[in-house]
Amino acid sequence: MRFKDRADAGKRLAQALKKYQNQDGVVYALPRGGVVLGAIVARALGMPLDLLIPRKIGHPLQPEYAICAVVESGEMVCNQREVARVDPQWFRQEVESERNEARRRRELYLGGRAPAPVAGKTAIIVDDGIATGLTMEVSIRDARGRKPAHLVVAVPVAPPDTVERLAREVDEFVVLDTSPYYLGAVGAYYDSFYQVTDEEVIALLRSAAPEGRVKEHDRP
């Protein structure tokens, strides 16, 4: 399956999630790219849009190779074999640095807006795709800590083995591309896969209604 761009993938994902339309819930997007899809899904479902902000920790000799992922709260998911091989002091400093970066981005993107309450509701985590799954796994744990009644992950594409592993951690895992062969990179599934900017993320979050659409029974 191919996607024209993130907007195309977001529309298809929203269609796959239509059973959740106007339910009491929150859509969580992973910045930056996931926010494009998350904004479309949130509008379609009538839910508020919020963020989960995982940060990768790259290997000191190969920064693009993630050995761990961390969120603002300090929750981590790591490749323990790789972490055991790096300098512990360096690793602690990197964890703290990335936690601080996640907090900085939340302030930048949301400007101090309080997190959308999700306890007892449906939480839907959206991203533009999954590769290794470290950032999504730590995002799932972050979301679980917020006590939703029902937790969903929704992505256009992910490796089958990663889907199998992460599906055990959530109530529903929605993936649009069900091919048993993964192309090796998320961007390989998109005709256009440009780098989303901070400015675009901020604009998308501002355009999303903070409390979702008003449901008919809530109208005066």
User: Whole-prediction pTM value?
Assistant: 0.92
Q: What are the extents of the domains in the chain?
A: 6-53+114-214
Give 36-75 pLDDT, tens digit per residue.
999 999 999 999 999 999 999 999 999 888 899 999 988 9
User: What per-residue confidence (pLDDT) applies to 209?
Assistant: 53
Give 130-147 pLDDT, tens digit per residue.
988 999 999 999 999 999
Q: What is the DSSP letter of 46?
A: T
CA–CA separation, 184 and 204 (whole Å): 29
CA-to-CA dists, residue 182 to 55, 148, 196, angstroms: 23, 31, 23
Confidence check: pLDDT of 210 > 80: no
User: What per-residue confidence (pLDDT) applies to 161?
Assistant: 95
Facing residues of 123 across strands? 26, 151
Give 48-59 pLDDT, tens digit per residue.
999 999 999 999
Burial letters for 7-45: b for 16+ Cβ neighbours within 10 Å, e otherwise? ebbbbbbbeebeebeebebbbbbbbbbbbbbbbbbbbbb
Q: Which residues are CB-contacts of 21 (< 8 A; sequence separation ≥ 6)?
A: 44, 45, 46
Confidence bin at 213 (pLDDT 50/70/90): very low
Confidence check: pLDDT of 216 > 60: no
Q: Which residue, among 200, 187, 201, has the nearest Cα to 5 in the 3D structure?
A: 187
Q: Quick one: CATH architecture of 6-53+114-214?
A: 3-Layer(aba) Sandwich (3.40)
Confidence bin at 112 (pLDDT 50/70/90): confident
* Bond prior to 206 in cis (omega within 30° of 0): no
Q: Maximum CA pair distance of the chain? A: 61
The end-to-end CA distance of the chain, in Å, is 44
